Structure 1
């Protein structure tokens, strides 16, 4: 084999998991390179809320929030269960806090605790209503220099001067109903004005995490190549010794990885063929909000070239999305928790706790969907009072729906519930009965059917000023509105099977020597569930870190940094 480039570690994918892998390798004397197939870096990590679910983390300890390894283990046993190996769950719990502390101590990342952002099942044994999440502090994108223009950003991103954390975003949504919402809005507004005056370019949430990690890569001179898609593995005597990449700088090149290849390239959310093969119908790539580069290239190569095992290919990080005219899918989180709106199926019935974890709501849509009673799409029904009080999509309270929303059919508007039902094609009498029953629940402050508002997670995005239940409010003020909700996703959850050391395994359980994987191109440690905010970014960064630890422990030859051939 003729090698155009030689590294100690080759990382495929530039999301948070890939970046942490490369940084930890570099700090331990290993040369690394990151290959990114698209013309932007950060992948789905950059598009995300930026949270990392990290049990027993150092910020919890500093703030006196009680947690323990055993408590976290019990919680995963009561959420993930035996769907993933106990050894892998234990590795995550043990190493996640270590990884987070190392990242904050050795890179430009500054974490803050996501105070009060509950675990998604806090009432289960080991669950915590106080939350275990961390997020990166906002940063000024000007620190990245020319690299600022390469970061992956959502189509409907936060305007440049604005700067807020996930908690502040939640509070701003309650600006019409709570004092805290008003104070937060003023605080964020003042900060945004100062940013504008200073010419600051604020990166927040997932953009802040990726921006800070990219800044750290620049400090160390770790190369990140854009427009350089992975093509195939190079294998010698059963060991992965490198990869072939199609780069925009040198064309097709062979890159040697002396100690290992780490795959962090995302899932297959945008691969229609794989989704149709492995996932339940109806399914399409049109509903995902994942990075468009997530086409499962490394998963397919692992299966076809190396006989790698795969798991959880039928699942995804589901959640309800709507499809605004002319735009990308809109992922809905907070709207479902706030009082004064419900989700109904094709018969006009509620079918789940609307305020539950978005993954649970997505699962419910598929589990109940039939030809006779479609749940895909479901309809999100709200009244004018809801619109007067709460944010919907990107629209602030009291902000009218744009005319094109109504004209295109994205939003259906009617003066009565019966008229609304007729327009959206559900039985009018049934929808009226459903709303009347829900209104009675709202007045009593309890939902005996689906227990909406019982969980601390439900209430996190609820309205604390609304009594007797912050998640239940009547639907009775005309006009009435409905929007179709589809089972979208943040990315797919299945991929290459890895062990507690991030090593990729064959169908017979043996390790494919030299190959590691993390993130959505590997089968998630979280199984079919979503234990808390940051259950994607927490594992991808942790198992990327673990992969490098294994490489350091098993490397057969020392790195010779003077031989660096990648610039």
Structure 2
């Protein structure tokens, strides 16, 4: 049964009840379904997939069977995390993850429709420390044919529209590479033609394309497995109570549109509701100041389920470097009145011919660092020189080749972006500074310095392009440094950047089996947390791509193995 709460019988009993349908919740439901257990998956919104569905769904899982030949090992990954995370998270939790991640990926692929592949070159974000790798740890889901889902395809959370092309066609980084080379490569032309033709046929009879990639592919694949194994799923449903008997959680009370159901869970209730980020008070209490106005995440992570667990004695973790994970975002009002929040992950900040400046017209960060570090730099330097918002600047050539935020490469159809103020254009650097309200001489000096760095290939101020991670997100055709190019061709352009939270790093304290612990450090029996409901093992650092989804899947696996079999290894 997939539908609304009124389709459930009051008093129904399940082996496992999972709350939340993002990557963590879906994985927990799949792992339980693989064991032929009776499973209920509960989602509070009208769509399945959570923020995972909106993401690239990169999954950081060191030393999996996909990493053979990469030189990775438990010991190497352990050194890497120790060097990056240090004392900001518990060593036992990190090592539990490293031990189980390969098993979780293998079991998931063997028992479900989920399929991963390692991207050819996908470096860890912090390349400066021992144990970092260039490939093998970051897995991505294979594209998925959504037609296999039939009518329930409509329940998968649609991608961010600004991440699609041609009226909603999804593309991943492989597709983008082919699209950019379709005039130079026969193979790329064929790939692009096949993809475009498929989408055109889909749109003749369907409201959306059926070729799913990235987060939609991962969620779609998991949903197909849940459907095949007849897992019950209810949407637009909230949890109003965690039922307990002594120190054991025995079920939940669900509510939706005036209906209520009391549901028994004989083995486990798994919390995977997405964390605190949209909590009515905790957002302001736990995030940086000024409190960020924008989040590109899905709307379901209200933290209300965590409130119920806190009422049973659970507690939030301590000691993290940061309570959230971050990305710089730009914002624009859509035609329907909603606000587009666009994360600037890799497509523009690291490209040649770009620079980010604060309100004084000065740089404040190495633009090619990870989106998490970029945003943290905004908070750290804002009190000294305001950079919320910051300004990401390029010239006509940079805009044409790489685009800027929601503005696609090509440099055409700019009028709507200019008219609503998303994009600022000026014939000179000084005039651009005037329009942005920043010092013109300072900005001219900054641009002149960047042009000097482009000529020598050396950024003496911030070290742009000094690691493999920096360079892989640049343009290999630009030499001597793939991240540095001149900013000299008029007109000049800018978009405003704000720090946007993309997920919670602070969550409920658990043991290695993902059991929620109380204030006395004792497990609340049968209550588990994974994903962003759980205290992150990354301690508020961001070591590499997919460091939220990898642990989410792994601790979902550990939770189910413990709940059903008592496994603790």
TM-score (norm 1): 0.92
Is the Cα contact below 8 Å between 1:319 and 1:332 reproduced in 2?
A: yes
1:288 is displaced (CA, Å) by: 0.4
Correspondent of 2:51 among 30, 34, 44: 44
Matches within 5 A, 1:179-194: 184=188, 186-194=190-198
Report 1:351-430 matches (<5 A).
351-370=364-383, 373-400=385-412, 402-430=414-442
| 1:233–1:161 Cα change, 3 Å | closer
- Answer whether contact 1:173 1:390 (CA < 8 A) is retained: no
Instruction: Indicate how the Cα distance of structure 1 residues 472 and 186 shifts in structure 2: closer, same or farther if over 3 A, else same.
Output: farther
List runs of 5+ in structure 2 lacking aligned partners.
1-8
Matches within 5 A, 1:104-183: 104-156=109-161, 158=164, 162=169, 164-169=171-176, 171-172=177-178, 174-175=180-181
Q: Deviations over 1:191-232 (max 9, x none)?
A: 331454577711111000000000000110011111111112
Q: Taking structure 1 as reference, are residues 102 and 8 closer, same or farther at Cα in structure 2, changes over 3 Å only? A: same
Q: Distance in 2 between matches of 1:368 and 1:104?
A: 44
Q: In angstroms, what is the RMSD of aligned CA positions?
A: 2.2
1:271 Cα shift?
2.7
Q: Deviations over 1:169-203 (max 9, x none)?
A: 3x257549x957x8546523333314545777111
Rounded to whole Å, the distance in 2 between the matches of 1:42 and 1:111 is 17
Aligned to 1:339: 352
* Match for residue 304 of structure 1 among 298, 308, 311: 311
Give the 3 Å change call, closer, same or farther, for CA 399–477 of structure 1 in structure 2: closer
Between the aligned partners of 2:307 and 2:21, the Cα distance in structure 1 is 19
Superposition deviation, residue 408 in structure 1? 2.2
Q: Do residues 271 (structure 1) and 279 (structure 2) align?
A: yes
Out of 32, 40, 47, which is 1:33 matched to?
A: 40
Q: Kindly tell me: are residues 532 and 168 of structure 1, through their superposed partners in 2, closer, same or farther at Cα, counting changes over 3 Å?
A: farther
Q: Work out the CA distance in 2 between the residues paired with 1:313 and 1:253.
A: 40
Q: Identify the range of structure 1 (183-192 vs 36-45) with the bigger mean alpha-carbon deviation.
A: 183-192
**Measured at CA, do residues 515 and 338 of structure 1 come closer, stay the same or move farther in structure 2, by a change above 3 Å?**
same
- The CA deviation at 1:391 is 3.0
In structure 1, the residue matched to 2:332 is: 324
Deviation at 1:424, TM superposition (A): 0.8
Per mean C-alpha deviation after superposition, the further-off stretch among 66-75 and 231-240 is: 231-240
> In the alignment, what sits opposite 1:458?
470
State the alpha-carbon separation in 1 of the partners of residues 481 and 438 from structure 2.
Answer: 28
- CA 1:121–1:179 in structure 2 vs 1: closer, same or farther (change >3 Å)? farther
Give the stretch that moved more between structures: 203-212 or 17-26.
Answer: 17-26
Aligned equivalents of 2:517, 2:316: Cα separation in 1: 6
What is the CA–CA distance in structure 2 between the aligned matches of 1:313 and 1:245, rounded to whole Å?
Answer: 35
Structure-2 change in CA distance of 1:436 and 1:123 (3 Å): same
Give the equivalent residue in structure 2 for 1:564: none
**Is this contact kept in 2: 1:162–1:188, CA < 8 A?**
no
Structure 1 552/189 Cα, relative in aligned 2: closer, same or farther at 3 Å?
same
Provide the secondary structure at the position in 1 that maps to 2:455: helix
Q: Which residue of 2 aligns with 1:513?
A: 525
> Of 341, 352, 361, which aligns to 1:348?
361
CA deviation map 1:318-346 (0-9, x unaligned): 01100123331111122011000110011
Alignment of 1:477-492 (within 5 A): 477-492=489-504
The whole-number CA distance in structure 1 between the counterparts of 2:408 and 2:424 is 18
In the TM superposition, structure 1's runs of 4+ consecutive aligned residues that sit over 6 Å from their partners are none
CA distance in 2, matches of 1:445, 1:332: 24
Q: Does the aligned pair in 1 maintain the 2:327–2:374 contact within 8 Å?
A: yes
Pairwise CA distance, 1:309 = 3.3
The Cα offsets for residues 122-178 of structure 1, whole Å up to 9 and x where unpaired, read as: 231000022411111111111101111111113405357846433333x257549x9
- Quote how far apart the aligned CAs of 1:58 are: 0.9
8 Å Cα contact 1:72/1:127 also seen in 2: yes
Deviates further, 472-481 or 22-31: 22-31
Quote the Cα distance in structure 2 between the aligned partners of 1:162 and 1:3: 41
* Structure 1 stretches lacking a partner, 5+ long: 556-567
Residue matched to 2:260: 252
Stretch deviating more after TM superposition (33-42 or 125-134): 125-134
Q: Distance in 2 between matches of 1:245 and 1:380?
A: 46
After superposition, the C-alpha distances for 1:255-298 in whole angstroms (9 at most, x for unaligned) are 111111110110222235211112221114x4101111111112
Greater shift, 28-37 or 471-480, is seen at: 28-37
How far apart, CA to CA, are the structure 2 residues paired with 1:271 and 1:397? 37
Find the residue that maps to 2:340 and give its secondary structure.
coil
Take 1:166 and 1:519, find their aligned partners in 2: how far apart are those partners?
25
User: Structure 1 residues 431-440 or 307-316, which shifts more?
Assistant: 307-316
Task: State yes or no: 1:433 paired with 2:475.
Answer: no
Contact kept? 2:22, 2:272, Cα under 8 Å? yes
Cα offset, 1:314, TM superposition: 5.1
Which residue in 2 is equivalent to 1:202?
211
TM-score of the superposed pair, with normalisation by structure 2 = 0.91
Q: How has the CA–CA distance of structure 1 residues 420 and 173 changed in structure 2, closer, same or farther, with 3 Å as cutoff?
A: farther
Residues 328 and 313 of structure 1, relative CA distance in 2, 3 Å threshold? farther
The answer for the alignment partner of 1:563 in structure 2 is none
Instruction: Quote how far apart the aligned CAs of 1:518 are.
Output: 0.4
CA 194–8 in structure 1, closer or farther in 2 if over 3 Å, else same? closer
Q: Structure 2: how far apart are the matches of 1:54 and 1:273?
A: 34
Change (3 A) 1:175 1:332: farther
Q: Distance in 2 between matches of 1:387 and 1:486?
A: 20
Cα 1:90–1:83 change in 2 (3 A) is same
What are the superposed Cα offsets for residues 339-376 of structure 1, whole Å, 9 maximum, x if unpaired?
00110011111111101110000111001111x62011
Given the alignment, which residue of 8, 12, 28 partners 2:15?
Answer: 8
Q: Which among 462, 468, 471 is matched to residue 480 of structure 2?
A: 468
Partner secondary structure for residue 79 of structure 1: helix
